[in-house]
Amino acid sequence: MKTAWTEVVESACVYADTWITWFRSPEIGNGAYPGQFLMLRCCDEGGEPGAELEPRTKNLEPMASFDPLLPRPMSFHRIRTGAHGPEWSILYDVVGRGTAWLSRRKVGDRVYGWGPLGRGYEIGHTSRNLLLVGGGIGVAPLVWLAEQAVAKALSVTMIVGARDSEHVFPSHLLPPEVEVVVTTDDGSAGRKGFVTEPFGELLEWCDQAFACGPTVMMQAMAAVAHASKTRRTVQVLLEERMGCGTGICYGCAVQVRVRGGRAMKLVCKDGPRFEARDVW
């Protein structure tokens, strides 16, 4: 894990209120793999970390630049090689002050962050058929996983769920080898209904399933997997509000099943990837 300033190299709204922002900062993306995340400070700090802190404190100026105080966790969406080296992106919905601030960053703006963090997805050595399930903005970490799997000549089917056609992640941004199944709550694109239906149908086809999305969606998937008595494993990325992202504040503790009972785990350090059957 490294802390560093990152520089925005590209930013655009891709659909509805969903943005992709690309950053340059090899330190933070170095060694990252799909399902891992980073923390980004979403406030106008300026200068090097700490450089402005002392004068402001002395002058007793309002510390508006530290608002919001807590950094925001974001999954790595994709990694590419840019003109000046490695670049990584985040795909995010504007839902509040932090993400609105991120969406206003322009090319050349700097953002402070740290990463890569947590344990991401793990593709088993013998897995050939992968089923990826993304609900809403949950597609963010799955795109890179799909790209890596396709590069290894694995078969990938991705179920993309959204509330309506406006909020569907565009299929053309996925590798052409990926089989895409779209579901929308209102039926305005793809199949009408929830991702759980095609998930249940495709569960026996896959060797492993990977999911990210609203808790209620992943919980429903766990119920489908449990009812089917399948031996397929379903890796899910849990989302909790995070204060540090590094195991210090204990703000992201969840209970999971372990041998002999249940135990508290930290989503940022022990996760965010967990086996669905250990959580629900």
Ligand X SMILES: Cc1cc2nc3c(=O)[nH]c(=O)nc-3n(C[C@H](O)[C@H](O)[C@H](O)COP(=O)(O)OP(=O)(O)OC[C@H]3O[C@@H](n4cnc5c(N)ncnc54)[C@H](O)[C@@H]3O)c2cc1C
* Whole-Å CA distances, 211 to 6, 87, 228: 28, 25, 17
Torsion sign (Cα): 146, 151, 122, 245: negative
Q: How far apart are CB 227 and ligand X at their closest, in Å? A: 27
Complex with ligand FES: residue 39 or 140, whichever CB lies closer: 39
Contact criterion met (CB below 8 Å) for 257 and 106: no
Neighbours of 132 (CB within 10 A): 28
Contact criterion met (CB below 8 Å) for 237 and 211: yes
Complex with ligand X: residue 181 or 242, whichever CB lies closer: 242
Fill in the per-residue mask, 90 to 129: x = in contact with ligand X (CB under 6 A), - = not in contact. Answer: xxxx-xxxxx------------------------------
Type of residue at 196: T
Among 21, 75, 89, 184, binds ligand X (CB under 6 A): 75
Give the list of residues 6+ apart from residue 189 with CB closer than 8 angstroms, or none.
162, 164, 165, 168, 182
Q: Give the SS3 label for residue 180.
A: strand
Complex with ligand X: residue 1 or 203, whichever CB lies closer: 1
Residue 49: cis peptide before it, omega within 30 degrees of 0? no
Residue 74 binds which of ligand X, ligand FES, none (CB < 5-8 A, kind-dependent): ligand X
Rounded to a whole number of angstroms, the CA Rg of the chain reads 19
Q: How far apart are CB 241 and ligand FES at their closest, in Å? A: 8
Rounded Cα distance, 253 and 239, in Å: 11
User: Closest Cα partner for 166 from 35, 4, 7, 14?
Assistant: 14
Residue 105 binds which of ligand X, ligand FES, none (CB < 5-8 A, kind-dependent): none
Among 37, 114, 121, 199, binds ligand X (CB under 6 A): 37
Residue nearest to ligand X (CB): 96
- Residue 93's DSSP bridge partners are 18
Residue 79 binds which of ligand X, ligand FES, none (CB < 5-8 A, kind-dependent): none
Q: How far apart are CB 97 and ligand X at their closest, in Å? A: 5
Does 270 contact ligand X by CB under 6 A?
A: no
Question: The tokens of 17 are what?
Answer: 């209120």
| Residue 197 dihedral angles phi and psi, to the nearest 5° | -65, -60
- Specify the DSSP class assigned to residue 60: T
Q: How far apart are CB 268 and ligand FES at their closest, in Å? A: 3
Complex with ligand X: residue 42 or 206, whichever CB lies closer: 42
Does 74 contact ligand X by CB under 6 A?
A: yes
Does 72 contact ligand X by CB under 6 A?
A: yes
Fill in the per-residue mask, 223 to 252: x = in contact with ligand X (CB under 6 A), - = not in contact. Answer: ----------------xxxx----------
Rounded Cα distance, 169 and 190, in Å: 12
User: By the criterion CB under 6 A, which residues form the site for ligand FES?
Assistant: 242-245, 247-252, 266, 268
Q: How far apart are CB 2 and ligand FES at their closest, in Å? A: 17
The residue ranges that bind ligand X (CB under 6 A) are 37, 68, 72-75, 90-93, 95-99, 137, 140, 239-242, 272
